[in-house]
Structure 1
């Protein structure tokens, strides 16, 4: 890390910017989460390219660490995991965001568990079962109050009964019943209890009708950390698995035994002296208050930095916090170095664990008025990933 007197460059030689992914931290986070939920299984959610960390690589690491459930949003994500060699004997893969005409047949052949939120999805899946001769594994999703995907209570009996008829015909196996919280990251929010009660009612109807699910699951990362009564048979850990707190108002990652997995760094592309009154970046929203030095950081919103963090996004240069001076542009932004003169090429640490005084993803989230989920997930493919501490090579 950069200190006040020296700069230890972590970037691979020749790279302008790099995201370092600490796979040992990932495994440690999974171990901490598994200990917290005791009897429940842990699903490693690797959607959105593993929240920006590399979905396939993180999935392989999770499986090597003993995780037997992987979560994806899109069918393409699920099929990519199977194509990477993660077979059904190694981990179940649940995919939950389907649209009409989706690759149900391919999912069946790949042994992907399919979430079903309405009759249209069940009907399309059953058509694929007839076409392929491969029975499906389905998780029935109840809308308990989030209002996104999931079956409304008034439609739930029809969906459950139709799924059970398909199961009796040998076409599907109902292996899961699940839902998702709207505000588990807001302790005391009235919707939490309401959704718990609604999920219990959905489960009661399904089980009374004859469903014997392998897994019942509603807990996301916040609920995994704060609501042990919601753990049931399986918890779905997304952000927490990557060592970022989903409830920063309650506790930092270390308070939950977690460690951030991603660090983002770059090299200063230019250091120059400018006079006072000099405008900086588009629109001159920042003007130098006096003679100073400016440092050019060669990453911008095309790399995933939020433009809303203009004039506020923090970095560590030469052991000192600096903030973006003026607007963050597509490919670059500027920091006012206050007269300091680091060498061109010196490392700039945008965010990391915070253990050496550098900003964290949460610091960037606050600077941009957003959440840390968005900060790590949006770091784009133009920023190469460097994996360290891996158990899978």
Structure 2
């Protein structure tokens, strides 16, 4: 779970000596194999008392680079960094709060606050963790942002008339994810009771049980660069009254597209055509596969499986051009692959109990060509589709 920072650590890390120490430690390898050497270097540089805090900060800053923008001087805890919203996603969510007075009631180290302060009229942040509040104050300052910060329980409002942002803790003490809204900290129902008359957005894990989410919410699943990152539950005036489920697909530059359950979902199931399309994970998780298919003139291979097929894939996606197919079995697949001289194989699976890595080892391919095998169930039949993956 990482090093447990205290307020004295934060004071030191914000000092000139602390800042210089972290910069120097950041130049080390900071790998598991160099851990003992890195610890020795930290102790020599700052002494026993602050060595762990300085070294952990250097490690966390390196880890944060791929997630948060302009965070070279930020302070983190391990758990806070894990739960922090990626900057691209935070900016996307903040746009729906532009011009509002906003209160982040679980502000932690301030990752969402930095995005909110760029667009909101006024911002407040609160948390029960004094260490994280002190880190948030620092992170806002080095980012050139400001917000009113307070030590407060998310379930005891300290502002009026603001839109509320909440990011409940989603892991238990052992680090396991919580999927039930009642197990969040604070629980979703408690947040809804306390802020029943306020505009509210609650960040949650994409694996959240949406069946337990009130019908009054708009549930948005967001992916970034092909990886599903989070879900956001919008309530009150922040929710689109015509939408219950939304998928938003973001690129690293912040551009992207969205689809909702307000769109048509007419989508037949047909025999395979020229292409197979595997929809973005946000579309699948939001239950909008049929809507996505209808938008792009695609069909399903099976009504219960997310693979789509058509004669022309949507632009900008990685799709799979089918060049052979047949019933799936290891023996028949091996024969099919040998007939096409396949030696390097990507394996995609839905609806079948197949481990791609184990299957690939058992196939023992020796050909010279690349291919993708899409393995899935169509009705009661296991099928294998041999394809070339292409970016269209």
Q: Same fold (TM over 0.5)?
A: no
| TM superposition score normalised by structure 1 | 0.29
Larger RCO (CA under 8 A, 6+ residues apart)? 1
